[in-house]
Amino acid sequence: MRWDIFCRVIDNLGDIGVCWRLGAELAARGDTVRLWVDAPEPLAWMAPGALEGRWPGVQVLRWTEPLPAALLRGLPPADVWVEAFGCTIAPEFIAHFADYARSEDSKHFELPVWLNLEYLSAEPWVERMHALPSPVLHGPAAGRTKWFFYPGFTPATGSLLQERDLLARQAEFDSAAWLARHSIAVADGARVVSLFCYEPAALAPLLRQWAAPGSAPVHLLVTHGRAGAHAEKISNEIGLQPLHGGRRQLSISYLSALPQTGYDELLWACGLNFVRGEDSLTRALWAGRPFVWQLYPQDDDAHHAKLEAFLDWLQAPATLRRFHRQWNGMEPPTAEVLAAAGDPATLADWAACAQAARQRLLTQVRAQGDLATRLARFVAEKR
């Protein structure tokens, strides 16, 4: 099948990250994908070669306003339209193919299956909304139907994306070799932790705890962008000082921008992962390591209910629930709760929770398919 996936980049790149992973996986399974993005530049480091057309089956097109008529005339029709995360397909694009469907040249062509690929949530209403129709009442495609498609964590949703080669890559992964390739020297006994976040208020007291004399050594791997800028600001304020033999209790490595496969490997290399947004949450679940998730903060605090629903699904132990609430600004950070991220027994509980969740998802995917499989199956049914 041929897919048109439309994506608008808001500000944190999770949207383009999810759309690229989905498009690349559909292409790897034999489909062709046109990915329309209003700001495709981040793909230069997220998926090297994508902008130059070096990914078989995926064509990245800049979504301008309006789309050039000459470009539209040269496009073969697609089988599927996907509006990702509530964006609206360009009206001139819809009008062009609606006109084509009415023309004599169209033969038996009908407008494609039209999907609204929604945000990821564990809230109960997602199961009720998944796969519901949404009649198109206005415009050149009036009378057609869109379909809501919700990714999710339960069999009654659209599942999560899992590339067909993911488990094999994970099984072959060598964390020591990965750290060496990135010139990261970790002291014996230090816990390796990844940090991908916005600007949580709890980060400063957490780094102060890890830097305090007598604390268990931590080597923090900080991702490029907002997380790196915020962590560097805090570490400068703390004034990290070398301890015995030039060692610090807290060592920090600031990473350059990683491609998506490299980010997966970062999670596999660490004993604790701090992640943010949708794409990295899914990757943390497949990694099966202890993790803490920061949701995108919303002005009306809607992310609080979203977090609680996820923690319920995760079957999170009490220590992990409290840490998540403080990490997401629902409670003021306290030394007692933040200390859990350095306690071996507590981290073992978090690891068991993550492994159990991963196993539940693996069982579900084996029985019903991942997000790409479920999408393709749904489209085939509607065609």
Q: Per DSSP, what are the bridge partners of residue 276?
A: 294
d(CA 380, CA 383): 5
Tokens matching residue 171: 């099984």
Q: Which residue has the tokens 């009490």?
A: 318
Strand pairing of 133-135 and 145-149?
antiparallel
What is the torsion angle, in degrees rounded to the nearest 10, for the CA atoms of residue 310, residue 216, residue 184 and residue 179?
-50
Tokens matching residue 202: 């709890």
**Catalytic residue chosen out of the listed positions 118, 264, 278, 279:** 278
163 catalytic residue (yes or no): no
Tokens matching residue 303: 């992310």
DSSP 185-197: -PPTTPEEEEE--
15 catalytic residue (yes or no): yes
d(CA 252, CA 359): 32
184-216 burial, b for 16+ CB within 10 Å, e for fewer?
A: eebeeebbbbbbbbbebebbbbbbbbbbeeeee
Strand pairing of 250-254 and 2-7?
unpaired
**Catalytic residue chosen out of the listed positions 15, 25, 123, 265:** 15
Spacing of C-alpha 215 from chain mean position: 32
Coil vs helix vs strand at 165: coil
d(CA 344, CA 323): 15
d(CA 39, CA 2): 22
List active site positions. 15, 278
